[in-house]
Amino acid sequence: MGHLDKIDLSASLTREKSEQKIERLQLRLLHLRLVSGGLLGTGELGPPLCIVFEGWDASGKGGAIKRLVGRIDPRHVSVAEFGVPSEEEKRHHFLWRFGESLPGWGEMSVFDRSWYGRVLVERVEKLVKPDEWNRAYGEINAFEHGLVDEGMTLVKFWLHISDEEQKRRFEARRDDPLRRWKLTDEDWRNRSKRAEYVKAVEDMLDKTDKGYAPWNLVAAESKHYARVAVLKTVIARMEEGMRRWGIEPPVSEGSDYDKST
């Protein structure tokens, strides 16, 4: 049984329950973000926070990111999306293009796709040679280890949905004139390679799930459940990261925040 097989895709929440939880969790994250950014409290900057989203097409990454940053001032968070590398980016080592978007102390960045494209789409679509994507696991581990040693809190998500749910979401996008732009011929073509992508994801999890930068596997069959799970995880990891550097997370009085949310 692989990592993906162990994810309970039956996990769900109603929209109403999810929205109630998200509102409270967003307030807690906002408080932590303001303290970590030196805008509240002692003014001491907290550790860099980088949140990486990977997952199946239509697994809800965009919706999860929207809720994650929903209450944060746009000046206090950076959201970067990474697709096919440009011709200029191809001239450099594959990790080069991500450097400018990495957060510094007191900063927060969210990556919609990341350096894991090298061992996922670039592997499956044969955009790079086997020795290149095989070598990338060690390069990614060393890269992430260095970032964490320098202080970064690195939170990695894989949003998982079934093949059937992905097809349903694709068809819903196809039939919605305001969301049709999200769906491409390549998205449909990639569905035929699901088995190859599953193998690539399993290898990725086997080789890059490390104690300093663990993967968080999120059941995303229910978008409402996934959004809450993402917020809870980021808050917990952010608090751990602050404590690691001697910063005690604040108590969020008046926000109606409860860790049992």
Q: Where are the domains of the chain?
A: 4-241
CATH number of 4-241: 3.40.50.300
SS3 255: coil
pLDDT in tens, the chain (261 residues): 899 999 999 999 999 999 999 999 999 999 999 999 999 999 999 999 999 999 999 999 999 999 999 999 999 999 999 999 999 999 999 999 999 999 999 999 999 999 999 999 999 999 999 999 999 999 999 999 999 999 999 999 999 999 999 999 999 999 888 888 888 877 888 888 999 999 999 999 999 999 999 999 999 999 999 999 999 999 999 999 999 999 999 998 654 455 545
Cα–Cα dist 54/200, whole Å: 13
User: Is 157 within 8 Å of 51 (Cβ atoms)?
Assistant: yes
Q: Can you give the pLDDT at residue 1?
A: 81
Q: Can you give the pLDDT at residue 189?
A: 81
Global confidence as pTM: 0.94
* CA 194 from centroid of its chain's CA atoms: 20
* CA 62 from centroid of its chain's CA atoms: 10
Q: Can you give the pLDDT at residue 110?
A: 98
User: Is 49 within 8 Å of 107 (Cβ atoms)?
Assistant: yes
CA-based Rg of the chain, rounded to a whole angstrom? 19
Cα–Cα dist 95/135, whole Å: 13
Cα–Cα dist 6/230, whole Å: 18
Q: Can you give the pLDDT at residue 141?
A: 98
Q: Can you give the pLDDT at residue 256?
A: 47
Q: 34: Cβ–Cβ under 8 A, 6 or more apart, which residues? A: 40, 76
